[in-house]
Structure 1
Amino acid sequence: MHAQPEQRRIAPALTYDQMLETVRYDGAYPTRERAEQSVNAVLAALGQQLGDCLRTALAACLPPEAADALTTALPPTAQPRTGWGFVQDIAARTGVAPAVARWDTGAVLSTVAALLPPDLLTQVLGGLPAGYALLFGRAELVQAA
């Protein structure tokens, strides 16, 4: 019998240090610490937007330190936020302008997207309200009416 994806730990494609360096490069951050602040803020906020199964499956693909930031978040929000609402929430939490929060979010989530199997990324995006695909560096797909 095969284990469910959310129950097994997948060896991440990057170490935490490599992930931080990728985010630092993509985000053009001056220091590793600044990249780490963005990773922690974005993943903690994302953890609140996902249900337990998706959060666990996504965490299994991340380095343990990043998985901790995602899974030790506060309980899920009662009202899921759109992609823009998510960015505004990060701006409020971190005290930065919305444009900076959008930049931070894109740098972190595009790195996360590269670590996920395509089917899991599709499931994550399907479990979130509209507006997240662009934050993950993907096209926003809209079903025709």
Structure 2
Amino acid sequence: MTWNHLIAQVRDRGRYDSDQEAADVLRAVLAALGGRLVGEERCELAAVLPVEARTHFAAQIPLTEHADAPAFVATVADALNAAPAQARWHTTSALAALAEVAGQSLTDRILAGLPRGYALLFCRADLQAAA
């Protein structure tokens, strides 16, 4: 997959007016996700991303603590200067496209390592049992 194809997927999912808007959203979400993923899943996701996407993702140093899904969306909102509802739309548009690139198995493992609530951001059912 190429950077342009990934941007086209985000643009289509988010119904953005331009490739530039979709690229800005994708960069913000990649940076936020790069700060959340660690270990093998981080390396595997980086390996399947186009070079431009990998650069934005891998440039982030992972945080030592996992933030919950609302904090992740807030990070995207801050990066894009967007309202929370708009940031959630941006987040799901980009993460759904990234899940397609990653495939089901890797996406499942990524979600298993993140706090509850992230599955919905990837446009997947949150089937984890409540604690």
TM-score (norm 2): 0.93
Partner of 1:108: 94
Q: What amino acid is the match of 1:137?
A: C
Tell which structure's C-alpha radius of gyration is larger. Answer: 1
Partner of 1:133: 119
* Cα displacement string for residues 49-107 of structure 1 (whole angstroms, at most 9, x for unaligned residues): 0114221111111111111111011x222331111110012112221101111011011
Partner of 1:88: 74
Structure 2 residue matching 1:78: 3-state secondary structure? coil
Shift of 1:115: 1.2
Greater Cα shift, 80-89 or 104-113: 80-89
Structure 2 residue matching 1:141: 3-state secondary structure? coil
In terms of fraction of residues, the more helix-rich structure is: 2
Contact kept, 8 Å, 1:55 with 1:70, in 2: the verdict is no
Structure 2 residue matching 1:79: 3-state secondary structure? coil
**Structure 2 vs 1, CA of residues 121 and 40 (structure 1 numbering), >3 Å: closer, same or farther?**
same
TM-score (norm 1): 0.84
Partner of 2:50: 63
Partner of 1:79: 65
Q: Aligned residue pairs: how many?
A: 131
Cα distance in 2 between the residues matched to 1:88 and 1:20: 22
Q: Pairwise CA RMSD of aligned residues?
A: 1.4
Cα distance in 1 between the residues matched to 2:70 and 2:105: 24
Cα distance in 2 between the residues matched to 1:96 and 1:77: 23
Structure 2 residue matching 1:108: 3-state secondary structure? helix
Q: Percent identity?
A: 39
Cα distance in 1 between the residues matched to 2:22 and 2:130: 38
Cα distance in 2 between the residues matched to 1:47 and 1:141: 24
Deviating 4+ runs (over 6 angstroms): none
The answer for unaligned runs of 5 or more in structure 1 is: 1-13
Greater Cα shift, 27-36 or 75-84: 75-84
For the pair 1:22 / 2:9, whether they are aligned, the reply is: yes
Structure 1 residue matching 2:129: 3-state secondary structure? coil
Contact kept, 8 Å, 1:88 with 1:101, in 2: the verdict is yes
Cα distance in 1 between the residues matched to 2:68 and 2:130: 20
Structure 2 residue matching 1:125: 3-state secondary structure? helix
Shift of 1:144: 6.4
